[in-house]
Amino acid sequence: MKPVPTLEWQIDRLKLLDQRLLPGEEVYLHCRTIGEVASAIKTLAVRGAPAIGIAAAYGAVIAALETAGSSSFSEDCNRQFDILAATRPTAVNLFHCLDIQRKILFSSPSRTEAIERLLNSAHNLYEEDLEASRTMGRFGADLLPDNCTVLTHCNAGGLATAGLGTALAVIYEAHSRGLLSMVYADETRPLLQGARLTSWELKKAGIPVKVLPDSAAASLLRTGSIDAVITGADRIAMNGDSANKIGTYPLALAASEAGVPFYIVAPVSTFDPGSPDGTSIVIEERGREELAGFGGRQILPAGVEVYNPAFDVTPVKFITSIICEKGVISSPDSIEW
d(CA 38, CA 115): 19
- Name residues of the chain where pLDDT drops below 50: none
pLDDT at 110: 94
Listed residues 95, 111, 133: the one ending a domain: 133
Calculated CA dihedral for residues 27, 30, 35, 41, nearest 10 degrees: 40
- The reply to whether 261 falls in a domain is yes
pLDDT at 337: 59
Concerning whether 234 is annotated as a catalytic residue, the answer is yes
Classified as helix, coil or strand, 179 is: coil
User: Do 105 and 183 share a domain, yes or no?
Assistant: no
**Predicted TM-score (pTM) of this structure:** 0.92
Q: For residue 10, list its beta bridge partners.
A: 13
User: Do 183 and 312 share a domain, yes or no?
Assistant: yes
User: Do 229 and 300 share a domain, yes or no?
Assistant: yes
Amino acid (1-letter code) at residue 98: L
Sign of CA dihedral 128, 134, 140, 142: negative
d(CA 240, CA 331): 4
User: Do 119 and 251 share a domain, yes or no?
Assistant: no
Nearest-5° Cα angle at 131, 28 to 150: 80
User: Do 154 and 126 share a domain, yes or no?
Assistant: no
User: Do 16 and 113 share a domain, yes or no?
Assistant: yes
pLDDT at 216: 98
Among 204, 217, 235, 103, which residue's Cα sits nearest to residue 149?
217
Question: Residues 234, 241, 272, 312: which is the catalytic one?
Answer: 234
Listed residues 133, 158, 182: the one ending a domain: 133
Listed residues 86, 101, 133: the one ending a domain: 133
User: Do 119 and 185 share a domain, yes or no?
Assistant: no
d(CA 228, CA 211): 16
**Structural domain tally of the chain?**
2
The enclosing domain of 259 has a CATH number of 3.40.50.10470
User: Do 125 and 184 share a domain, yes or no?
Assistant: no
* Domain, as residue range, for 96: 7-133
